[in-house]
């Protein structure tokens, strides 16, 4: 499994061009390059050193050393060559540490307002060579005057090798054609805006090399995760869709997975506050206590808005190890009544204010035996679906009646 260190290292490489667009803005004259470099120097995640500027005929050249704070061995050389009349910077960042290695070429628009950027790399290595990204290309734009940005990244191959000297087999994960798309356009003052994103892969293979014998543990023919979000006033709504085809476990026949999930009446300011606090805590461990306080306060704010979560469909048709063929289909809804909720009583009133309904249209016997609590196994096996569970006024329900009464019959 990819660890946090490798994720951070890969993320720094992909957004390196974008950071330059944030740091070097305004006039491209040599006397202003140093002034705008201060924005990059002020970024807590990056240490900037060995800064030099050189004035040439009709252009200015800036070089600097970049090192990621908190990630030993992650750093590189930055070179930006800017023409006096040009509004675009071009350069290369070279990483040669154990955490990340490779070269990223980029272009970045300069100035205020909406500016585009692009970057590419033939190959990037991370986590001491365990993670390799091949043929990375990305582009997007940043609007410094609004909460508006876009990022599109395509990676031809992603490979992760888990070579454990104490294990009997080495694991290798290979992903082909990884696509990430993100656009965020929110105007909090106007109370409007939309965001959407997509993460897709064309093929995934997880193979173990057991003493020279390859063994495929799992695979995907393709997967597509999408989300859309909208801000209306101060309320945020989010819809999530997941689709995966040709899902294979241990040479099983191919299966599929589909999920549609919608969250409504979320407080945007509360979500944003938690995200900001989480980023600060990640950079400074001393702020973890403040993060806990913020989570408590913002969770109350979220609940007081009476949020609702709708599971429109979860469809599963796969062959699982030890379970055999599993076909399941369920839907449901969960809502919280936050009317008049008080902060000091939020935890005590949680169960009494929660309402939920979950419908299992299809649930195979093997999944009931493996996943259901023992008290429910015989009950479910002796009844035909759909199985309708609920929660209301602090009590569990089955088809509208108290669950304990249904179990007693």
For residue range 283-322, what is the model confidence (pLDDT) as tens digits?
Answer: 555 556 666 777 777 888 889 999 999 999 999 888 777 6
- In this structure, what token pair is assigned to residue 309? 């979560």
pLDDT value, residue 11: 42
Over the stretch 323-351, which tens digit does the pLDDT of each residue have? Answer: 677 788 999 999 999 999 888 788 889 89
pLDDT at 58 over 80: no
Highest mean pLDDT among 110-124, 173-187, 282-296: 173-187
Structure tokens belonging to residue 200: 């897709």
pLDDT at 115 over 90: no
In this predicted structure, the answer to whether residue 396 has a pLDDT above a threshold of 90 is: yes
- Residue 195: CA count within 13 A, CB half-sphere: 21
DSSP single-letter state for residue 45:
T
Q: Residue 177: what pLDDT? A: 93
Residue 220: per-residue pLDDT: 87
Mean pLDDT of 211-229: 87
Quote the pLDDT of residue 12: 43
The answer on pLDDT for 256 being more than 50 is yes
Q: CA-CA distances (angstroms) from residue 181 to 130, 149, 153, 154, 197?
A: 25, 11, 7, 9, 5
d(CA 224, CA 208): 25
pLDDT tens for each residue of 1-50: 444 444 444 344 334 433 343 333 334 445 555 655 666 677 677 788 88
Structure tokens at 98: 């154990």
Note the pLDDT of residue 40. 67
pLDDT at 402: 93
**pLDDT band per the 50, 70, 90 thresholds, residue 281:** low
pLDDT at 131: 86
- Over 80: is that where the pLDDT of 145 sits? no
């Amino acid at each position: 499994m990819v660890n946090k260190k490798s994720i951070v290292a890969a993320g720094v490489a992909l957004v390196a061009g974008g950071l330059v667009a944030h740091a070097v803005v305004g006039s491209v004259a040599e006397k202003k390059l140093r002034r705008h470099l201060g924005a990059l120097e002020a970024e807590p995640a990056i240490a900037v050193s060995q800064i030099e500027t050189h004035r040439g005929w009709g252009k200015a050249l800036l070089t600097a050393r970049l090192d990621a704070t908190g990630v030993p061995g992650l750093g590189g050389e930055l070179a930006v060559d800017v023409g006096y009349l040009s509004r675009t910077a071009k350069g290369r960042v070279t990483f040669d540490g154990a955490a990340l290695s490779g070269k990223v070429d980029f272009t970045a628009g300069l100035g205020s307002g909406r500016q585009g950027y692009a970057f590419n790399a033939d190959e990037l290595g991370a986590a001491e060579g365990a993670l390799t990204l091949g043929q990375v290309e990305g582009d997007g734009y940043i609007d410094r005057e609004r909460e508006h940005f876009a990022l599109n990244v395509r990676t031809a191959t992603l490979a992760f090798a888990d070579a454990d000297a104490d294990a009997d087999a080495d694991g290798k994960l290979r992903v082909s054609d990884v696509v990430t798309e993100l656009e965020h356009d929110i105007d909090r003052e106007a109370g409007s805006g939309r965001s959407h994103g997509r993460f897709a892969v064309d093929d995934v293979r997880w193979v173990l090399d057991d003493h020279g014998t390859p063994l495929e543990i799992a695979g995907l023919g393709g997967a597509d995760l999408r989300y859309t979000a909208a801000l209306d006033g101060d309320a945020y709504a989010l819809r999530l869709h997941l689709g995966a085809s040709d899902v294979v476990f241990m040479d099983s026949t191919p299966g599929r997975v589909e999920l549609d999930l919608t969250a409504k009446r979320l407080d945007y300011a509360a979500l944003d506050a938690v995200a900001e606090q989480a980023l600060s805590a990640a950079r400074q461990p001393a702020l973890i206590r403040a993060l806990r306080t913020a989570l408590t306060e913002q969770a109350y704010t979220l609940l007081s808005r009476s949020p609702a979560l709708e599971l429109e469909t979860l469809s599963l048709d796969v062959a699982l190890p030890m379970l055999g063929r599993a076909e399941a289909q369920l839907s449901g809804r969960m809502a919280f009544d936050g009317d008049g909720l008080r902060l000091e009583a939020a935890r005590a009133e949680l169960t009494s204010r929660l309402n939920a309904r979950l419908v299992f249209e299809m649930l195979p016997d093997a999944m009931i035996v493996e996943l259901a609590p023992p008290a429910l196994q015989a009950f479910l096996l002796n009844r035909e679906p759909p199985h309708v569970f609920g929660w209301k006024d602090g009590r569990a329900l089955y088809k509208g009646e108290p669950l304990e009464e249904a179990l007693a019959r």
